Structure 1
Amino acid sequence: MDMRLLEYFLAVVEAGNISKAALKLHVTQPTLTRQLQQLEEYYGSQLFIRGSRKMTLTNSGIILKKRALELLDLQTKTKMEIKQNEHEISGVLTIGCGESCGNQFLPIILKEFSKQYPKVTYQIKTAGSSENEEKIEDGLIDVAIVLGPIDKNQFHSLSLPYQDHWCLLMKKDSPLAQRKRIYQEDLKDLPLAIANRKEVLETFYDWADNPQMPILYQYDLNSNLIILVENGLCYGITIDGAVDNRLNQSLTYRILEPQIVYTSYLIWKKGVVTNPILEKFILCAQKIIHQPDRYDIVR
């Protein structure tokens, strides 16, 4: 499929109607209308609901918008990588990060790598571990810092010297703040929030030995969890590395017992590394990890 069709599609999405998009694209309205019809025929689904003043996306259109942005971004990255001079490392490295203490490795490696390759620039994208893994598979990011366990059939990985402990986030005036550790029975009848990830839920239910334990809220980012807990709506099941540096005067946390511990990893897609920036980045990471005292990366 001609990528230009996706560009036309996104232009109509942004403009809200065909006439404005046609002016921006310097094409006629009939031409743009035909292109959209061709796109709908290609996918076998209606993409827009055509109103009197504005066009809105159907569910199929919403899906295509997300994928079109990803495909065009991937096309741009591919062009840039192809243009890279083999003898001069320059270009963009896209790094995925989540919310964990493993992110402490990021400024350490970026500082060292930038000294060696000052012409490299970076895109830092925040997502959960599962989403970062998917983006590596799709070629949308080059490398990511994620929480284990790692599927070693899909990814190469470097174990980072950072570990996250599961904990209960709460207000400081909570009676549970007087405890040194939090046990299964302490959570009985508490309004709980937990990350919206299948593997997280499964691990929690195994720990609690209660697959029926009710969860009031599911969240994607710990910034949202903190707001909920601050306002007394719930207690949060999270990891200490995600909240250590974000606690305010009203919040605290306690480690779960028995402990659940996650190790952080640097991962990239399995196979031959053809991106010279990524290749050098991995070598730099290996060097740092093998000399932890020099780089002060032991937590």
Structure 2
Amino acid sequence: MEIRVLRYFLAVAQEESISAAAQLLHLSQPTLSRQLKELEEELGIILFIRGNRKISLTEEGVYLVNRAKEILSLVDKTTLNLKEAEVVSGDIYIGGGESKAMRLIAKISKEIMDEYPEVRIHLYSGNADELAEKLDNGLLDFGIVIDPSDKQKYDAIRLPDRDIWGLLMQDSSSLAKKDVIVSSDLKGLPLIVSRQTHVANELSNWLGNNLEQYNIVATYNLLYNASLLVSEGVGYALCLYGLINTTGESDLCFRPLEPSLEAKLTIVWKKNQIHSNAAKKFLESVRSNLKIE
């Protein structure tokens, strides 16, 4: 499978027309049709459903579109960083969930970009499972995740910030009168929980390894949308402190869990990864800010 042909395939998927894609690519229509046919024969699958006015993707075609985008993104990133290897420039890809630790990453990003104006920072927001997949596929340089990380796969630096777990609720709830939330308070409540594997394990441990006995009515991967469910009275969200505004005119409030449940945070990257000059400088700045030799 050639990179060039993957670009042809994506162009056709985007244009939904071989003739339009051929014009965009500056190819003849028969040449493009032949390339697509050879790709289907090479893979042994049908990628397109060819209609009278436009073509659409098969299920296999949709899968290949998503993978082709990731492959080409990695190719473009690698090519750019190799071309710019002699100077500190290029792209740094950082993934993270919703956490106060991202403020440190923002501070370091500002320092790097002030010193090296040709560096560009790309942030990806997602949960730990999504970040791990993108790190493993080389689509991210660094990820900000809740410790413990997989020490066999990743190098890591512990960050000083710790996030506190608690319960996000309507301020009219009877539980809002309490200073802390204990596990017995959650019995029978409609709960909204993170869908991250690691988080589910941590919460299960805090609840005595019987999370399945609680009434989970919804899950989330980023908290803002979950907070809207809380505001509308769908349920109570188990989440981290400080990510949703609960002051001023907000109708929500947050109460920490007791005993306290903290999330320790780390910045991770693949073991034996060869960083671009820009990514090296970023890592150096992380160590400098944390006073790590």
On whether the aligned pair clears a TM of 0.5, the verdict is yes
Cα distance change, pair 112–74 in 1 and its aligned pair in 2 (3 A): same
Cα distance change, pair 112–55 in 1 and its aligned pair in 2 (3 A): same
Report which stretch shifted further, 120-129 or 43-52: 43-52
* 1:278 counterpart residue number: 279
Contact 2:19 2:29 in 1 (8 A): yes
Structure 1: 5+ residue stretches without partners = 292-299
Partner AA of 1:285 in structure 2 = V
Alpha-carbon distance in 2 for matches of 1:33, 1:233? 51
| TM-score (structure 2 length as normaliser) | 0.92
Cα distance change, pair 234–247 in 1 and its aligned pair in 2 (3 A): farther
Superposed displacement of residue 202, structure 1: 2.5
Equivalent residues in 2 for 1:145-160, closer than 5 Å:
145-160=144-159
* 1:296 counterpart residue number: none
Superposed displacement of residue 46, structure 1: 2.0
Report which stretch shifted further, 46-55 or 277-286: 46-55
Alpha-carbon distance in 1 for matches of 2:254, 2:117? 40
* 1:130 counterpart residue number: 129
Aligned residues between the structures: 290
Structure 2: 5+ residue stretches without partners = none
| TM-score (structure 1 length as normaliser) | 0.90
Contact 2:109 2:121 in 1 (8 A): no
Equivalent residues in 2 for 1:142-221, closer than 5 Å:
142-209=141-208, 210=210, 211-221=212-222
* 1:97 counterpart residue number: 96
Alpha-carbon distance in 2 for matches of 1:271, 1:108? 26
Q: Deviations over 1:223-281 (max 9, x none)?
A: 21011111111111111143358996111111122222111111111115342222221
Q: SS of the counterpart of 2:202?
A: helix
Q: Deviations over 1:38-57 (max 9, x none)?
A: 22222222222333333222
Contact 2:191 2:236 in 1 (8 A): yes
Cα distance change, pair 285–247 in 1 and its aligned pair in 2 (3 A): farther
Superposed displacement of residue 36, structure 1: 1.9
Contact 2:141 2:275 in 1 (8 A): no
Partner AA of 1:54 in structure 2 = K
Q: What fraction of aligned residue pairs are identical, expressed as a percent?
A: 38
Alpha-carbon distance in 2 for matches of 1:273, 1:40? 34
Alpha-carbon distance in 2 for matches of 1:19, 1:251? 54
* 1:34 counterpart residue number: 34
Alpha-carbon distance in 1 for matches of 2:136, 2:246? 31
Alpha-carbon distance in 1 for matches of 2:73, 2:18? 23
Cα distance change, pair 227–50 in 1 and its aligned pair in 2 (3 A): farther
Q: Over aligned residues, Cα RMSD in angstroms?
A: 2.0
Contact 1:99 1:241 in 2 (8 A): no
* 1:261 counterpart residue number: 262
Alpha-carbon distance in 1 for matches of 2:3, 2:274? 26
Q: Deviations over 1:67-125 (max 9, x none)?
A: 11111111111111111142x21111111121111111112212222333232121111
